[in-house]
């Protein structure tokens, strides 16, 4: 009498590009976790200006890795629109290089908006990178809570991040004129004007992605309930 054994769970096989993206996303989530933890601990213990003085260099280095997001989009490794990616990365690089590095004496770094900035950026990126990594590793079946966080937290975190960035630029205008010149002062003002269309594009993209993802998630859960 023959016996049968249930098939083992199929092993997930990732392509080289998928392995690279999974590792990149996991590593990025870890780096942003470091920023969130450092900022939180220092904010509770010492507050400003110690938070900025201690974390701004690490924030600049970690945010610089986001250039890889543009490269990944150009290479076709991810399906994210290139314009959306460039807009988000450029605005952040303006903050870390155009303000924190070029204007080290700006009062913006020691302002409370630096705390809200690092909170919004780090939480957004921890969730985003964790979701992307798990989505790749599970072949499109990430944990439900990560999906909900990814496509709901942006309602609060995106406006908070943009508001914080605008505060930091605004607080740096006088220092820009004094330290560099009127040209840079007007460049920063121009960059502030670009936030409106940039935010509209990014937020609109997320709304479309949310609608698509939530519809698929709820349809999947409804199907599973019927099977049970």
Euclidean distance between CA atoms 76 and 102, whole angstroms: 33
Q: Which of 115, 111, 117, 101 is nearest to 42 (CA)?
A: 115
Q: Is 158 among the catalytic positions? A: yes
Name the active-site residue from 165, 175, 184, 185: 165
Name the active-site residue from 18, 20, 158, 195: 158
Residue 7 region, left (φ>0) first, then alpha (ψ -120 to 50), else beta? Answer: beta
Other C-beta atoms lying within 10 Å of the C-beta of residue 154: 22
Note whether 214 and 156 are within 8 A (CB). no
The CA-based diameter of the chain, rounded to the nearest angstrom, is: 90
DSSP for residue 77: S
Euclidean distance between CA atoms 161 and 81, whole angstroms: 20
**In the chain, beta strands by DSSP E:** none
Give catalytic residue positions.
158, 165
């Amino acid at each position: 009498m023959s016996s049968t054994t249930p098939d083992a769970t199929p092993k997930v096989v990732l392509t080289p590009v998928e392995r690279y993206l999974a590792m990149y996303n996991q590593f990025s989530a870890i780096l942003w976790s470091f920023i969130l933890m450092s900022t939180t601990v220092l904010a509770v213990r010492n507050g400003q200006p110690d938070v900025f003085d201690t974390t701004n260099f690490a924030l600049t280095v970690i945010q610089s890795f986001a250039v890889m997001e543009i490269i990944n989009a150009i290479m076709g490794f991810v399906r994210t629109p290139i314009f959306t990616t460039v807009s988000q990365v450029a605005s952040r690089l303006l903050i870390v290089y155009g303000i924190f590095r070029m204007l080290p004496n700006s009062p913006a770094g020691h302002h409370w908006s630096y705390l809200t900035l690092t909170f919004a950026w780090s939480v957004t990126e921890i969730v985003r990178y964790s979701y992307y990594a798990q989505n790749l590793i599970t072949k499109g079946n990430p944990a439900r809570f990560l999906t909900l966080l990814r496509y709901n937290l942006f309602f609060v975190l995106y406006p908070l991040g943009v508001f914080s960035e605008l505060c930091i630029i605004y607080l740096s205008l006088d220092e820009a004129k004094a330290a560099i010149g009127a040209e840079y002062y007007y460049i920063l003002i121009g960059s502030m004007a670009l936030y409106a269309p940039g935010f509209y594009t990014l937020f609109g993209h997320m709304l479309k992605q949310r609608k698509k993802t939530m519809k698929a998630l709820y349809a999947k859960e409804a199907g599973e309930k019927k099977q049970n």
